[in-house]
Amino acid sequence: MRITNKIMQNNSLNNINNNKVLQDNLNTQIITKKKITRPSDDPVVAIRALRLRTNVSEVTQYYEKNVPDAKSWLSVTEEAINTTTDVITDMQKQFTKGSNGDLTTTDRKTILEQLKALRDEVYATGDADYAGRSVFTGYRTDSKLSFQGATTELYRVTEQLTTKSLESIAYVDKGDVGTLNSSNLSTTAISEQDVEASDVYRIRLAYNDLDQGAGVTAPSISYYDTTGTLITVTPTIVSEFDTVTNAYTDVAPGGANYIPETGEVILDEALYLAISAAKDDPATAVNEGEIRIAYDKSRWAEGDLKPEHYFACTKDPLGTPVIYNPDYLTGTAEKQVIKYDVGYNQSLQVNTTADECFTHDVGRDVEEMVRVIEEVDQLESLSDELTKLMEGLSETDASYATVKGNLATVNKALTLATDKMQKMFENGITKMQDHLDQTNLALTNMGTRSARLEMTESRLQAQQTNYKTLQSQNEDADITEVAIQLSSAELSYQAALLATGKIAQTTLLDYI
């Protein structure tokens, strides 16, 4: 085959051009610091790059966004629970101080004011939020835990209780002591025999100051007896201030009294025993050990816990109803857990629900203690008035016997009420410890989640470093090696030009 000059020129130009293409590729690698600029440059590197970039992007999302967000949520929650623990500890100290012995009027007033302030602080802490989202209200992050101001929204609440809610409490019947005032101390005689202490059975509801009177749905108590039959009892609504019927002692046989002012259901002994005997049968679909009490409430004070975060309830049942938590009544409710994705196929719960540390019992225990302290203060004040009045009388005065009898009656009521107060202070220490234990459990769970999150964060950091290293090895060009290759290509280019120039100078005419 004859090789002509033209063929040699074309081959030379083609090779020179290939060399320039190589130089261009190497120069591009130096400028971009990447091995390839198009998938076609190296399909294997391109496919591996896509996979590694996806891995880096996912890990970065978890490590730099999800994990910090979860840590912030846990931090806010942990801080709120720590505050609650401190507040309940202070409450316990006040109960301990009250149980130490004789208290002066000043001591009681100090304890009274402290308990009121601490009670308000507990539920105010429950309104903590993270980035505008309430942290203790489950899925309803746009709703505060408590009412932010007084309101008259009507709720029909159904509390689902167990036999643990049944309790026996000491009650002091003051007889007609409540009818005495500064104007009739010497003219109205009251009987000492009517003043007595007794034990009553009750269920304390989550709220007091409940609705009563016309237009209010009467409360109902539903439970299963020992045969598994659903029993419904309609309590008699009796005001705490009723002077005819004693809400605590005048209970119909087998029935119950409902006291709206205090939110208590007082049970006859027979009904108490019947409800206490109810036990859940695991073989049945229903919970025979459950007690349900339904009632209406429309007067809410600032700081009251919203019922939709705790119970099955209906807001505005007489108008356009809004139904909350209907699955509570069917037994299909699931805990409102908020989880963050913090890793591949790994999620972590970040929220603590209100029932874990902000129960109604904390405030209700304090309210009862406050009420008893105020009752003792009133009786003590009344006793002081009668004592001063007694000092100004002689045995011959017409009112002497009346004042003397009234003083003895009031002092008897004061002794019984003081004894009740003392026992409540002592029991309050145990109750506050129970609340503290429950709060500490929530705090422990929060600490466990935080520890898991820290371990996950450490692992993600290592994964991110590893994936970025692999990505760099796959995509990034070795600049030193590329520079050497470029220098070699430039040298080859110069040599090709020189050789081609010499060959091109010789033609067929040189041999003719």
Q: What average pLDDT is seen over the chain?
A: 88
Around Cβ 338, how many Cβ atoms within 10 Å?
18
Stretch 382-387: mean pLDDT: 92
Stretch 88-101: mean pLDDT: 90
Domain boundaries, the chain: 5-59+476-502, 65-137+337-475, 140-335
| Residue 506: predicted pLDDT | 64
User: What are the pLDDT digits (tens) for 40-87?
Assistant: 777 887 788 788 888 888 899 999 999 999 999 999 999 999 999 999
Q: Is the pLDDT of residue 102 over 90?
A: no
Q: How far is CA 502 from CA 18, 31, 433, 499, in A?
A: 20, 34, 103, 5
CATH-assigned architecture of domain 65-137+337-475:
Up-down Bundle (1.20)
Identify whether the C-beta of residue 238 lies closer than 8 Å to the C-beta of residue 249. Answer: no
> Any idea which of 182-186, 229-233, 376-380 has the lowest mean pLDDT?
182-186
> Any idea which of 22-36, 108-122, 368-382 has the lowest mean pLDDT?
22-36
Q: Is the pLDDT of residue 210 over 60?
A: yes
Report the alpha-carbon distance of residue 263 to residue 132 in Å, rounded. 33
Helices and strands: H and E segment counts in the chain: 9, 15
Q: Is the pLDDT of residue 471 over 60?
A: yes
The CA-CA-CA angle for residues 431, 433, 438, to 5°, reads 100
- 40 CB burial (10 A radius; 0-12, 13-18, 19+): exposed
Q: Which of 360, 356, 368, 376 is nearest to 428 (CA)?
A: 368
| Residue 101: predicted pLDDT | 72
User: What are the pLDDT digits (tens) for 233-274?
Assistant: 999 999 888 878 899 999 999 999 999 999 999 999 999 999
Q: Is the pLDDT of residue 365 over 60?
A: yes
Q: Is the pLDDT of residue 97 over 60?
A: yes
pLDDT tier at 214, thresholds 50, 70, 90:
low
pLDDT tier at 510, thresholds 50, 70, 90:
low
- Scored b (16 or more CB within 10 A) or e, 109-145 reads eebbebbeebbbbbbbbbbbbbeeebbbbbeebeebb
pLDDT tier at 497, thresholds 50, 70, 90:
confident
Amino acid at 457: E
Q: What is the CA radius of gyration of the chain?
A: 41
**pTM for the whole thing?**
0.82
| Residue 279: predicted pLDDT | 85
| Residue 4: predicted pLDDT | 67
Identify whether the C-beta of residue 76 lies closer than 8 Å to the C-beta of residue 128. Answer: yes
The CA-CA-CA angle for residues 288, 293, 294, to 5°, reads 135
Task: Starting at the earlier edge strand, list the strands of the sheet with 196-204.
Answer: 166-173, 196-204, 264-267, 256-259, 236-237
| Residue 37: predicted pLDDT | 74
pLDDT tier at 276, thresholds 50, 70, 90:
very high
User: What are the pLDDT digits (tens) for 130-144?
Assistant: 988 999 999 999 999
Stretch 330-348: mean pLDDT: 89
Residue scoring higher pLDDT (392 or 20): 392
| Residue 412: predicted pLDDT | 94
Q: Please list the residues that pair with 231 across neighbouring strands.
A: 223
| Residue 1: predicted pLDDT | 60
What DSSP assignment string belongs to 142-211?
TS-SB-SS-B---EEEEEEE-GGGEEEEEEEE-TTGGG--TTTTTT----GGG-EEEEEEEEE-S-SS--
Q: Is the pLDDT of residue 358 over 80?
A: yes
| Residue 428: predicted pLDDT | 93
Among 169-173, 317-321, 392-396, top mean pLDDT goes to 169-173
| Residue 453: predicted pLDDT | 93
